[in-house]
Structure 1
Amino acid sequence: MIKVVKRDGTEEELIWEKIVVSVLKTGAPVNVARKIAYMTVGKIYMDGKDKVTAKELTGIILGFLRKENEEWYKNWIIYDRAVKKRETEKELQK
């Protein structure tokens, strides 16, 4: 079982369905999202890792996504920036 080390240091099990959902948000079709999820998990296994940081995981996904379609890759970046901006604003309001 592969663990994902999140930005706050907590760990959770890597669930490939979460990768599928994230890739779908870019506009990619289901078959491509599943393909990227399987390739991502496969790469981590092939690298012999049992833990991966969220940043590393994102990098792997983005690499595969960019190879598939540049627009989907850009959509991920735009969405990710918007989410991080919202999180920062929430922290500042506390």
Structure 2
Amino acid sequence: MVKVIKRDGSEEELIYEKIVVSILKTGAPIDIARKIAFMTIGKIYMDNKESVTAKELTSLILNYLKAENETWYRNWIAYDRVAKKRETEKELK
């Protein structure tokens, strides 16, 4: 199974459903979210990787999102900024 190396250095299993849920938050419909998640995981397996960084995973997803719909792409960027800001605020407390 492929591992995702998160920004904090921890590792977790690459989970299809987590990718789908993240894509759904952009406003993409379920069929597109599933398609992008499938293509993303397929690309990782085709490259024969045992692990992928969160940054690499995000980049793959963003490339597929941008090709599908520019608005969904921008929504991901906006959502990601908010999530990172929340993480930073948690760390400061």
Pair in the same fold by TM > 0.5: yes
Partner of 1:43: 43
What stretches of structure 1 of length at least 5 have no aligned partner? none
TM-fit CA distance, 1:10: 1.1
Partner of 2:12: 12
Count, aligned residues: 93
Q: For the residues of structure 1 that align with 2:9 and 2:88, how far apart are their CA atoms?
A: 18
Partner of 1:59: 59
CA RMSD of aligned residues (A): 0.7
Answering whether residue 90 of structure 2 is matched by residue 90 of structure 1, we say: yes
TM-fit CA distance, 1:90: 2.0
TM-fit CA distance, 1:65: 0.5
Answering whether residue 29 of structure 2 is matched by residue 29 of structure 1, we say: yes
Partner of 2:80: 80
Identity, in percent, stands at: 74
Q: For the residues of structure 2 that align with 1:79 and 1:48, how far apart are their CA atoms?
A: 30
Residue 89 of structure 1 aligns with an amino acid whose one-letter code is: E
TM-fit CA distance, 1:91: 1.7
TM-fit CA distance, 1:24: 0.2
Q: Helix, strand or coil: the match of 2:20?
A: helix
TM-fit CA distance, 1:86: 1.5
Q: 4+ runs of 1 displaced by more than 6 Å?
A: none
TM-fit CA distance, 1:66: 0.4
Output the TM-score relative to the length of structure 2. Answer: 0.97
Residue 27 of structure 2 aligns with an amino acid whose one-letter code is: G
